[in-house]
Amino acid sequence: MITPLTEKLALAGHDSPHWKVAGEKLYSKFNAIKKCRAIGHQWPSYHVWSKEQSFQRPKQSFSQSVDTQCQIISDTYDKVRLFYSGGRDSHLILHHMLENNYKLDEIAIYRRFPGVIDNDTNEFDQFNLESILSKTLEDYNSRTPVKYYDLLPEHFHYYSTRLDTLYFPYTNLEFFSNGVHTLAEWFPHIIDDNWVNVLGNGRPDVVGNTFHWIDTALNLSQPDPYTLQFFLDERNTDLAVNLAYTIHDLSKKYTNNEHMHQDALGVKDFLQYPNTGTLLDSKWDSVDASTNVSRWFVGPKEIFYATNALRSDIGRQTYSNMIKFYEDTESQYKSYFDDGSIYNAWIGGVSEKHTLVEV
């Protein structure tokens, strides 16, 4: 039984990134755009921290600022749930939490099965991350429970007939994308009192001597209930600032392009993020070819989910429902998509900008 979540459930003492339209705070990009259209504004503004600031290089190292963030989480919330994907961000957080005995009450794995339940559609299964996670817990003598949250074909089909109200405003743009918000509607204990749902994202973009965030780079997960994006907590600015200075320094050292993506700069290797030993340690779903625009519709990860959907009648119906909805949505909001195509991406919104003083 679904329990729809229609309002943002925010953590005490911490606000998620959000958009503003005529003074109203919204946590859904789609809803913010609809509000703009309704009152004649062109674009919503995007906000991550409360004000623009200037930063010296932190006295803490990057690793120390990661520990500081873990400590803040341990001290502030009764129960800590880490959403673990097996990517290097969540793997880094897991190692720091376990190594230093910070509070960690649950490791959450979520998987998507649009058409059939199998063992090779989701990255967690493809790369046998269960064994890697078990080995990591064993290495730290940890008995932290691991729980699976699976969205099944009937869940996706239910949403596919209610995309405008229950799904599209709360997810990334891709068809079978979902976050904690969607899971909490089917697993309501996720929003039990004073749990924090930790997500391993939130890294900044750096241009010249400034840094900011782009909304589409943060997985558009802002409607998610009681979530904390680990790397952008304003209570611990050293973490984001350390990342920003590292990205800046590497961009100057390795390339003349000062806005090169951090994965290409080797930021995670430089900062010694732990590896899983799988293709998730790199950008596994990229290919050695380029097109005139990056379309999620033909991305390798998205192809896996589409293939899964097309393997059953219910999945094919879900897929058809989504295509019809997306085509209609593109026609209504064409100016808000890259090159006018919903199958590219939303045009990204840029947050407030912060200055790196020591560059």
Q: Where are the beta strands (DSSP E) in the chain?
A: 18-21, 24-26, 45-47, 54-55, 79-83, 106-112, 146-151, 195-199, 205-207, 210-212, 227-229, 354-356
pLDDT over 90 at 114, yes or no: yes
Show me where the domains of the chain are located. 53-356
**Which stretch of DSSP H or E encloses residue 164?**
none
- Per-residue pLDDT reduced to its tens digit, 241-286: 999 999 999 998 876 554 555 566 799 999 999 999 998 898 777 6
pLDDT band at residue 294, thresholds of 50, 70 and 90? confident
0.85 surpassed by pTM: yes
DSSP notation for 75-118: HH-SEEEEE--SSHHHHHHHHHHHHTT----EEEEEEE-SS---
Residue 276 gets the label, from left (phi > 0), alpha (psi -120 to 50) or beta, of alpha
- pLDDT, tens digit, for every residue of 328-339? 999 999 999 999
pLDDT band at 208 (very low <50, low <70, confident <90, very high): very high
Considering only CA atoms, which of 247, 272, 235, 233 is closest in space to residue 356? 247
- Environment class of residue 15 by beta-carbon count within 10 Å: exposed (0-12), middle (13-18) or buried (19+)? middle
Confidence at residue 174, expressed as pLDDT on a 0 to 100 scale: 94
Please say if the pLDDT value at position 119 is more than 70: yes
* Measured distance CA(334)–CA(336) in Å, rounded: 5
